[in-house]
Amino acid sequence: MEKQNYNHLTRTFQRLSRFDHLSAIAGWDMSTMMPTNGSQARGEALAELSVLKHQILTDKKIATLLQAAAQEDLNDVERANLREMTRHYQEAVLLPDALVEEKSLVGTRCEHGWRTQRPANDWQGFSTNLKEVVRVSREEARLRAEAKGISRYDALLDIYEPGMTSARLDVLFGDLRSWLPDLLQKVVDKQAKEKTLTPQGPFATETQRQLGLDTMALLGFDFNGGRLDVSAHPFCGGVPEDVRITTRYNEEEMFSSLFGVIHETGHARYEQNLPREWLGQPVSLARSTAIHESQSLFFEMQLGRSAPFLKLLLPKVIERFGAQPAFELNNFINVNQQVERGFIRVDADEVSYPAHVVLRYEIERALIEGDIEVEDIPALWNEKMQSWLGLSTEGNYRNGCMQDIHWTDGAFGYFPSYTLGAMYAAQLFNAASRALPNLEQEIAEGNFSPLFDWLKQNIWQHGSRFTTSQLVTNATGEDLNPLYFRKHLESRYL
C-alpha cells in the first residue's frame, strides 16, 4: 500500500498533538486560574502526560517506520514533515522516561515556588528548587551532547533553535557588544535633552484590560480562537485553534501591560495562521523559538513602537483614559520610544534589551557547562548588569536573577531566541517595507491587511516546512543579517 509507513506515522503524531493540546491548556490553567493547593496534583498529572507522550514517541517501531517512510514516494510537504518527525524522535529517544518525568516534576515545583519567592526576594528558597532543575537539565544536556557530539549547551540550544550554535551566537553577540553600549549612551544623552512628560495614573486594571482588547482587535486577533487573561509572567500558550495570551497589570503604569499584550498578540497571530491543513503534524508547528520571537517583536517593536502606529493608537488611549498633557502626540511617541537602563527584561526598550539577553545567555551557558554553580548566579548577574547597564542588583534578587520564569522549568537555551528574534524582525520588516512601498501610510490609516498578508505569505503559512535559514532567505533574499537590526535602531533613535 502506497505511503503506508508515512501514514502510520501521521496517525501517531496526530495522537501526540492531541496530548500536547491537553498539556498546553492544563499548563495555561495552572498559570492563570488554578487554586494554589492544586499545584502538586497538577504537576504530577502533567508529568504523567509528558511520560506517556515520550513513550509513544520513542516506541521502537517509530524508528523502523521513519526509515521505511523515507523510501516512500512523498511530496515536498510530506518530506518536510518526515524530516521534522525524525527530528522530534531523535530528540526524544535520547532521554529515558524517568528523566522526562523528573524534569516535569522539578520544573513545576520550582515555577510554583517562584511565584511567591520572587515577590518576597527569597533567593535562598528559590535557589534550593533551582539546583534541582539545573541538576536535571545538566543530565539532559549530557545525554544529548554525547549522542550528537556537540557541547552540552549547544545540545539544549538546538532544541529551541535547530542548527544554531554558541560559536555563531558568540559572533553575533560579540558584534552587538562592539556597538550597542555606545549607541545606548548616545540615545540616552540625546533623550536627556528632550523634556518628556510621564502619563499620570492611576490606570484602572479593567480599563487597561479593555484597551488591550481594543488593540488586539486592531491587530487582527481572532477572539473566536483565543482569549486574554492575567498571569505572573506574560506568555502566549494554548494551541493554534485556541490561543491563550496573558499579561499583568500595574495601576501606576499602563504601557508595560499594553505592550505586553501587543507582544503576545504577535505570537498569537503566528499561531492562528499556521497551516490548518497540516495541523496535528510537526510540519504545521512554528519554525523555531527565534522565528516565534521575531513575530512578537515585529508586532511590539517594529510595528507597535513606530510613529505611525502610535499615532493610530493614541485616540484609543484617550478614549479609555481621557486626555492629559502626556497624551499630546509627540510626547506620546517620545514616551513609547524612551530608552533607559532598567532592571526588568520584559519592560526593556529595544535598544537596551539585547544586554539583558546576552547576560542571561552567558550565565546559563556557564551553568549548563558546569563552569559555575547556582550559588554563583547573583554575583555574576550583578557584575554583568554593571558592565552592560551600569546598574547594581546586589541583594535585589527579585529584579535581578529571579525575575524570569524560563529557568524554573529548565528552558536553558531559550534566551538567545529573543535577540535573534529582534534581528529577524528588523530584517523581515525591512523586506516587507521594500515589498509594500505605501506601508507607512497604510499603518497610519489602520490598514494592516497588506502587512499581515505579507507575513502570512512569507512566514505564517509555512509552519516548519522550511529550515529557519531557508524560510528567512525566501522571505528576505538572504540569511540572517544583523546589520538590519543595527540600522533600524540607529534610524529610529538617532
Nearest to 303 by CA among 212, 197, 428, 398: 428
Q: What's the CA gap between 119 and 303, in Å, rounded?
A: 33
If you ran DSSP here, which 8-state letter would residue 72 be given?
A: S
* DSSP code string of 261-305: HHHHHHHHHHHHTS-GGGTTSGGGS-S-HHHHHHHHHIIIIIITT
Instruction: Establish whether 264 is a catalytic residue.
Output: yes
Task: For cell 529557568, name the residue.
Answer: 407
Look at residue 46 and give its three-state secondary structure.
helix
Establish how many alpha carbons lie within 13 A of residue 324's alpha carbon, considering only the half-sphere containing its beta carbon. Answer: 13
Nearest to 139 by CA among 97, 95, 108: 95
Is the separation of the CB atoms in 312 and 446 below 8 Å? yes
- Cα separation values, 185 from 262, 329, 339, 352, Å: 27, 25, 10, 10
- Cα separation values, 109 from 114, 236, 381, Å: 9, 21, 23
Residue of 140, 161, 264, 350 marked active site: 264
267 is in an annotated binding site: yes
- Cα separation values, 390 from 181, 215, 384, 460, Å: 11, 35, 9, 39
Q: What's the CA gap between 324 and 333, in Å, rounded?
A: 14
Q: What's the CA gap between 175 and 486, in Å, rounded?
A: 10
Binding residue positions for Zn(2+) = 263, 267, 293
Annotated catalytic residues are 264
